[in-house]
Each structure stands twice: as structure tokens, then as C-alpha cells.
């Protein structure tokens, strides 16, 4: 029996892959250096003669910076004068209509659903009342104008839902 001559021990396949990877890395490195030089505007093949005018860099004249006088930039005539500050405006109150307060959360949900059927959006606020327990308040609002409050209150009154006006004045917050 004769052995076929096309068969190798498998070593030459590994050598050809290593050789291909090595050649690819070298070509890639050469291309990367070439692109970096081209992007940087450096041409290593351009001959520069010492007598050419382009090889002598001309010094750039710096532009004069604008002159600022600190006290002229600030508002006001006198250096120690502070700009006028706006007086804090009184916070505008917000109005709510409380349609009910219940200890049972299901009753509050039922009233909220009844208000939704009328087209009135309500929220349930849960809070603890001293010596009485937890209450679920059904409130409509907030309203910024009394006209809106009166319009909604008349709608609730027509549908036999009593509502109490609750006025909330937001606390002013400090501003730096």
C-alpha cells in the first residue's frame, strides 16, 4: 500500500495561518501610520529646501483681548451698589373641594368613581386624624380661581354630593 503524498502531518496549516496573521498586522500597521501622517498634514516625502519661504514659520500676531473693567460690567453706577431685588410675591392660595372623608377605603373609592362618572377628577388623600384613626379624604382640585370652584361645586350640588371648600396656602420656600 502506498501512502498518498498530499497528506501532511498538519503542521503546515498552522504555519500558514500564523504567516497570514503576521502579514496582516504588518500591512495594517503601515496603513495606520500612513493615515495618521496624512491626517496630521505631515508629508515625509515632501522635500524641504532651507531656502524656501514655506519652511520659515511666520510668527502669528496675537489679537488684543478685550479689556473689561469689573465695575463697569456690573449693573448700577456705584461700585458698592447691589442690584435691586424683587420683593417676594405672596403665594397664591389653592382651593380644593372635599367631597367626603371616610374611614373605609372602599367608600372613598366608590365616591371617586361616582365623581369620575360626572367627569370630575378626584384624588384620595389618606391621613391619620388624632384620636380618630385613619381617614380617606376624597378631594377635587386644586383650583386657582374661585370661578372654577363655584362651577364644580354647583355640578356636585346638582348631583346631591355635598362638598366643603378647603383653602391651602403653600409655604414660601427660600431661594438662594
Check which CATH number belongs to the domain holding 120 and give it.
Answer: 3.30.70.1070
Structure-block grid coordinates of residue 49? 529646501
In a domain, 103, yes or no: yes
On whether residue 55 sits in a domain, the answer given is: no
Asked, for residue 164, whether it belongs to a domain, the answer is: yes
Residue in this structure with the C-alpha cell 365623581, named with its chain if needed: 115
Does 112 map to a domain? yes
Concatenated DSSP letters of 104-167: SHHHHHHHHHHHHHTT--EEEEEEEETTTEEEEEEEEEEESSHHHHHHHHHHHHHTT---EEEE
Total domains, the chain: 1
The answer as to whether 100 is a domain residue is yes
CB 139 within 8 A of CB 98: yes
Residue 75 lies in a domain: no
This model's pTM is above 0.75: no
Give every residue of the chain whose pLDDT is below 70, as ranges.
Answer: 1-14, 44-61, 66-89, 172-176
In a domain, 17, yes or no: no
Provide the residue range defining the domain that includes 109. 94-168
83 belongs to a structural domain: no
Rounded Cα–Cα distance for residues 105 and 40 (Å): 73
pLDDT reported for residue 72: 62
Amino acid at each position: 500500500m502506498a501512502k498518498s503524498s498530499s497528506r501532511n502531518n498538519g503542521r503546515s496549516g498552522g504555519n500558514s495561518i500564523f504567516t497570514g496573521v503576521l502579514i496582516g498586522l504588518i500591512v495594517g500597521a503601515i496603513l495606520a501610520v500612513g493615515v495618521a501622517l496624512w491626517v496630521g498634514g505631515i508629508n515625509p516625502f515632501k522635500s524641504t529646501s532651507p531656502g524656501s519661504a514655506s519652511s520659515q514659520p511666520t510668527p502669528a500676531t496675537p489679537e488684543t483681548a478685550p479689556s473689561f473693567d469689573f465695575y463697569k460690567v456690573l449693573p448700577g453706577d456705584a461700585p458698592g451698589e447691589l442690584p435691586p431685588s424683587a420683593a417676594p410675591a405672596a403665594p397664591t392660595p389653592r382651593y380644593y373641594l372635599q367631597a367626603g372623608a371616610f374611614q373605609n377605603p372602599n367608600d372613598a373609592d366608590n365616591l371617586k368613581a361616582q365623581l369620575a362618572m360626572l367627569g370630575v377628577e378626584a384624588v384620595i388623600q389618606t391621613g391619620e386624624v388624632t384620636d380618630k384613626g385613619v381617614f380617606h379624604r376624597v378631594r377635587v382640585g386644586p383650583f386657582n380661581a374661585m370661578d372654577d370652584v363655584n362651577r364644580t361645586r354647583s355640578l356636585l350640588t346638582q348631583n346631591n354630593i355635598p362638598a366643603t371648600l378647603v383653602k391651602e396656602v403653600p409655604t414660601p420656600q427660600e431661594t438662594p
